[in-house]
Amino acid sequence: MEKAYKLLAIQEDISNNKAKELIDKGIVYVGDKKVKIARALLEDDTKFRIEMPRDIAIIYQDEFVVAVDKPAFIDSYDIEDAIEGAELLHRLDRETSGVLVLSRDASWAKKAIECFKRREVTKKYIAWVEGLVYEEEEIDAPIATHKKGGSAFSQVDIKNGKKALTKIKPIEIQGKKSKIEIEIDTGRTHQIRTHLSYIGHPIVGDERYGSKTKAKRVLLHSKYLKIFDYEFEANEPDDILRYK
């Protein structure tokens, strides 16, 4: 038995630190199971599989704005660092794919951030969720977020939470899973994940918020974003396009 990161380092002929980094990014698998703990003890003959994220595709850019199709398993801040002179206007969770918007102009960015604060930005997502969703629904439930050690967890808190509104619409059903479109009027931390868990339909792969289904990632995709006269759309990746 040996620690996972040491075995991975030997298999890939990389440093221990690089092996830990790959595991922490959530892209290392043994069979169909993600390796979640770098120091987990595994058999010496364990065979790993690394699933590197697809390349970052630029959807649109001009002197004010750049919109990218963010791959899953890449931090929003890493994309900001990779695009010279660009500043994030919002963020997506590491495992969430899709439209991510940055600004190249400080004055424009200030106006755009105010637009986000005034809830004048249209944001639509696609997700696969547990259970059967047959009807459109509005989830109007306050959310409170608790942060500890660099991580965050949110929950519906009627008394102390901040206003949060999520609208969902069914698209497709496969077995006991549903594909839905989601529109959010507010932008609370983990809002979509929290609200869907609250109504008994956690996102597939979102074990932290109640999903019982193993998946390579949380199956959530930022499909569309409109701000001012700009409209951006990111095609659904294969794991969102159809559920297997």
**The CATH number of the domain where 144 resides is what?**
3.30.2350.10
Question: What is the share, in percent, of the chain residues with pLDDT greater than 90?
Answer: 77
Query: 148-173: string of b/e by CB count within 10 Å (b at 16+)?
Result: eeeeeebbbeeeebeebbbbbebeee
93 in catalytic set: yes
* CA–CA gap between residue 131 and residue 73 (Å, rounded): 25
The answer on pLDDT for 150 being more than 90 is no
Is residue 149 over pLDDT 80? no
Structure-derived torsion over alpha carbons of residues 193, 58, 181, 160, reported in degrees to the nearest 10: 30
Query: Which two three-digit tokens encode residue 180?
Result: 């839905």
211 and 138, same structural domain? yes
Name the residue among 145, 50, 45, 53 with its Cα closest to residue 98: 53
Number of domains in the chain: 2
Q: Give the range of the structural domain holding residue 15, as residue numbers without chain letter.
A: 2-50
Q: Which of 45, 62, 81, 93 is an active site residue?
A: 93
Using an 8 Å Cβ cutoff, are 241 and 67 in contact? no
Q: What is the pLDDT of residue 34?
A: 85
Q: Are 60 and 230 in contact (CB under 8 A)?
A: yes
Q: Return d(Cα 130, Cα 196) in angstroms, integer.
A: 9
In a shared domain, residues 77 and 46: no
Assess whether 45 and 115 both reside in one domain.
no
Q: Domain check: are 87 and 26 in the same one?
A: no
Which residue is associated with the tokens 């703990």?
37
Residues 38 and 79 reside in one and the same domain: no
Q: What is the pLDDT of residue 204?
A: 97
pLDDT at position 81 over 80: yes
**E strands, the chain, in order:** 2-3, 28-30, 33-34, 41-42, 49-50, 57-61, 65-70, 87-88, 97-103, 122-130, 137-140, 143-148, 151-156, 165-174, 177-184, 220-227, 230-233
Per-residue pLDDT of 103-127, as tens digits, reads: 999 999 999 999 999 999 999 999 9
